[in-house]
Structure 1
Amino acid sequence: MNMRFFSLKNIITFMGILLGLSSCIKEEAPNAEADILSCEVEGNLLIREPVISNHEVKLYANSWNDLSAIAPRFTLTQGATIVPESGTIRDFSSPQTYTVTSEDRQWKKTYTVKFITSDIATEYHFEHIRFHEYGGRQYFHIFYDHTVDGEEMTWGSGNTGFLITNSTAPAEDYPTCQSKNGYQGKCAKLTTRSTGFLGKMFKAPLAAGNLFTGTFEINMANMAKSTRFGTPFRKTPLALTGYYKYIAGETLTDKNSQKVPDQKDECDIYAVLYEVTHEVPYLDGTNIKTHPNIVMIAQLPQGKQTEQWKRFSLPFSVVEGRKIEPAKLQAGKYNLAIVMTSSKGGAQFLGAVGSTLYVDEMQLFYQ
């Protein structure tokens, strides 16, 4: 089953199969999916695992690489075909498009495949969004900013996970959405939401609003591992600044939906620079602040309630005497993760429904 779009209907069907509720076995119909599942490039050209979204494949490389004759190979959903053919040599000095056709020949999907050789954007105004779309319907907001070179940087969020339990919700009711009431213009609005009956059944009773550099790939076995934090960064970060306001929800609860007495929810804003290795291609919700590959961290000291816009300036500090190795930095061997969430304990499903964090006009300083 394709995890890139996992609807409530898919979940219910999947659960029914697990419980043995299927009525009778019929001959399997041709597959109706038209997705790229994986991408490979020969040699040591890529410095990160490819990032594949609904209509895009991002391939990370260093700026000095020759991209004029590359032949990526794709793994597709069962029976699907791709044009141009997998393994075709193409000039990736500019983005290239591919068309995937489903096995039943009824569905086509166009993917843009591009190499990313520049660092992430360093100014974040949260003015730009697009919708996650599927089947002609718009679901939730996706934020994006631009680098100084004009490259688009897409923010990750956990909205895809919320879609599983609340597929009929309007975009404004998802944990992460855009608000018109920013410090300047529009802003990011992150709200801790209830995931209802299905969420409680999976021991994930709430979804904290979050926004981060990286991607979200649903891991049903451990939802905290769904967040894949960080993207390549070849400079030394100095500080992260911006504006926020925060209203904590009324009742703090744990993963069992039990009230946590005498405590209030807190937000969190932080950034982590960490080394990427073959064994550790990314950090996730289980280790983003604790993994030994972390070299530097910047963090909001307290995420207490503040109903007025408040400026923050978070300096990066070295963790436990670790240091950045210049050769690794130049070669793109470090990831930078910038993370914001409406519930500090959201990865462990500790939070208060209704907690709302607004963030705007952020900037990353570096040398």
Structure 2
Amino acid sequence: MIRLRLVVAASFCMLLSSCFKDEPLNAECDILEAYVHVENPSETFFNPTDTLVKVTSEANSVTFKVRKSADITRLAPVFRLTEGAVINPESGSIHDFSDGSVTYTVTSQNGEWSRMYSVVFQPSVQTVTDVMPFDFEWFYLDSSGKYYIWNDKKEDGSDADNWATGNPGFKLSRGSAAPDEYPTVPWSDGYDGTAVKLETKSTGALGVLVNKRIAAGNLFLGSFNIGMALTNTLKATRFGVPFDRKPLKFTGYYKYKPGEKFQDEKGNIIEGKTDRASVYAVLYRNHDANGNDVVLYGDDVMTNENIVAVARVSEIKTTDTWTLFEADFEYKCEIDESLVNENGYNLAVVFSSSEDGDLFRGAIGSTLIVDKVRIECEKIQE
């Protein structure tokens, strides 16, 4: 009997060992966070929290914002990766970032997948123009070739990496869609050159399954966290980019046509209700009184206590001709000039083809086209 128990126990251990050995290795190869240690953070960064960058799953670059005077010739970024992944060059190795970005390759635990990331320490360049232009002429397809991404050029010619859309989330529900079938796409017949077309789309069978039946076309200054797209959609949109001027007026040109049938989040048609587009800009402090990072999300973009000023276009009329919109920034409190110079404010600019699209309410087919957007700022005193 004892010998039988030993044989059974040995067999169980062998089976258990076999189960562990057969468990598939992780196929993910992502950078989750990047961190850099420097002796005097205030000499390199604007805020202590700027030493840490959280990387969204769709990003292919990691950008640290640093002071113009920062010494970036010997820095050693440290990376937190998906389980079992390895990175080359090695995490914590020293590199000279003064000549531009350094390319890192992350390889999955199973060795079958890899991703390349561009890591850059970007010195702040003081904005000198009094009018910030956004003309939407710089766009390209993402690495999978499925949807469009927009970018602007800074005054020094570098990429701003400033615009985001909900297109990555739409890919989860309608992965077979062609690039021009996504909610946010280029529009060749712009007011001047190329514009952006935002159209509220059906998310198909998967959208019905998860009770997220529509996807409004949207475009905003900020970033989109694909990891939150299905679980907490309002937290997927991270509004705002650093802004070092005092904005006064928000202007641009648009065309708009609402879809025929407005539906609620359950797909019920609401008779007599007409869809509305949403166009606004928000200036806010990007750190709270305790020095913690502040980001506006879909659930507090108009209510967060760190908001300083809002410019909201009160009415977007139905029109098939290019129509001027304009709104003044209404300030809730005085702007702090010292914070302006320290990159202490973020600016969010938001466009959506359906005002309640973040709640999955709207009309399929609602279409907003925007172009030649401008942020007019207070003139710098000489």
> Which among 204, 224, 229 is matched to residue 234 of structure 2?
224
Q: For each residue in 1:324-364, what CA deviation from the matched residue of structure 2 results, as whole angstroms up to 9, or x when unmatched?
A: 11222211121111111101111111211100010111122
Q: For each residue in 1:40-78, what CA deviation from the matched residue of structure 2 results, as whole angstroms up to 9, or x when unmatched?
A: 122543644526343211212232322222211101122
Q: Distance in 2 between matches of 1:180 and 1:317?
A: 33
1:149 aligns with 156
Are the structure 2 counterparts of residues 197 and 253 from structure 1 closer, same or farther at C-alpha, using a change threshold of 3 Å? same
Contact kept? 2:46, 2:342, Cα under 8 Å: no
Q: Does the residue aligned with 1:347 lie in a helix, a strand or coil? A: helix
Structure 1 residues 346-355 or 40-49, which shifts more?
A: 40-49
**1:236 maps onto 2:246 in alignment:** yes
Contact kept? 1:119, 1:147, Cα under 8 Å: no
Q: Distance in 2 between matches of 1:251 and 1:304?
A: 17
1:35 aligns with 30
Q: Distance in 1 between matches of 2:77 and 2:195?
A: 38
Q: Distance in 2 between matches of 1:119 and 1:196?
A: 45
Q: Distance in 1 between matches of 2:20 and 2:208?
A: 31
Q: Does the residue aligned with 1:64 lie in a helix, a strand or coil? A: coil
Q: Distance in 1 between matches of 2:375 and 2:274?
A: 29
**1:92 maps onto 2:97 in alignment:** yes
Q: Does the residue aligned with 1:115 lie in a helix, a strand or coil? A: strand
Q: Does the residue aligned with 2:180 lie in a helix, a strand or coil? A: helix
> Which among 347, 351, 371 is matched to residue 340 of structure 1?
351
Are the structure 2 counterparts of residues 122 and 28 from structure 1 closer, same or farther at C-alpha, using a change threshold of 3 Å? farther
Q: Distance in 2 between matches of 1:153 and 1:119?
A: 13
Structure 1 residues 63-72 or 157-166, which shifts more?
A: 63-72
Q: Distance in 2 between matches of 1:289 and 1:99?
A: 39
1:289 aligns with 302
Q: Does the residue aligned with 1:63 lie in a helix, a strand or coil? A: coil
TM-score between both structures, scaled by the size of structure 1? 0.87
Structure 1 residues 331-340 or 97-106, which shifts more?
A: 97-106
Q: Does the residue aligned with 2:197 lie in a helix, a strand or coil? A: strand
**1:310 maps onto 2:307 in alignment:** no
**1:123 maps onto 2:133 in alignment:** yes
| 1:174-253 matches, cutoff 5 A | 174-218=182-226, 219=228, 220-253=230-263
Contact kept? 1:62, 1:332, Cα under 8 Å: no
> Which among 323, 329, 345 is matched to residue 340 of structure 2?
329
Contact kept? 2:46, 2:343, Cα under 8 Å: no
Are the structure 2 counterparts of residues 81 and 241 from structure 1 closer, same or farther at C-alpha, using a change threshold of 3 Å? same
Which of structure 1's runs of 4+ aligned residues deviate more than 6 A?
A: none
Q: Distance in 1 between matches of 2:362 and 2:126?
A: 33
Which amino acid counterpart does residue 76 of structure 2 have in structure 1?
Answer: A
| 1:92-111 matches, cutoff 5 A | 92-93=97-98, 94-111=100-117
Contact kept? 1:266, 1:305, Cα under 8 Å: no
1:50 aligns with 53
Which amino acid counterpart does residue 364 of structure 2 have in structure 1?
Answer: V
Q: Distance in 1 between matches of 2:65 and 2:319?
A: 39
Are the structure 2 counterparts of residues 25 and 247 from structure 1 closer, same or farther at C-alpha, using a change threshold of 3 Å? farther
Q: Distance in 2 between matches of 1:249 and 1:231?
A: 31
Are the structure 2 counterparts of residues 59 and 51 from structure 1 closer, same or farther at C-alpha, using a change threshold of 3 Å? farther
**1:63 maps onto 2:68 in alignment:** yes
Q: Distance in 2 between matches of 1:34 and 1:343?
A: 35
Give the deviation of 1:203 after TM superposition. Answer: 2.3
Which amino acid counterpart does residue 85 of structure 2 have in structure 1?
Answer: A
Consecutive unaligned residues of structure 1, counting only runs of 5 or more, are 1-23
Give the deviation of 1:168 after TM superposition. Answer: 0.4
Give the deviation of 1:111 after TM superposition. Answer: 1.0
- The two structures, once aligned, show a CA RMSD in angstroms of 2.0
Consecutive unaligned residues of structure 2, counting only runs of 5 or more, are 1-18
> Which among 318, 341, 349 is matched to residue 360 of structure 2?
349
Q: Which has the higher helix share?
A: 2
1:14 aligns with none
Q: Distance in 1 between matches of 2:46 and 2:167?
A: 28
Which amino acid counterpart does residue 98 of structure 1 have in structure 2?
Answer: Y
Are the structure 2 counterparts of residues 356 and 164 from structure 1 closer, same or farther at C-alpha, using a change threshold of 3 Å? same
Contact kept? 2:237, 2:298, Cα under 8 Å: yes
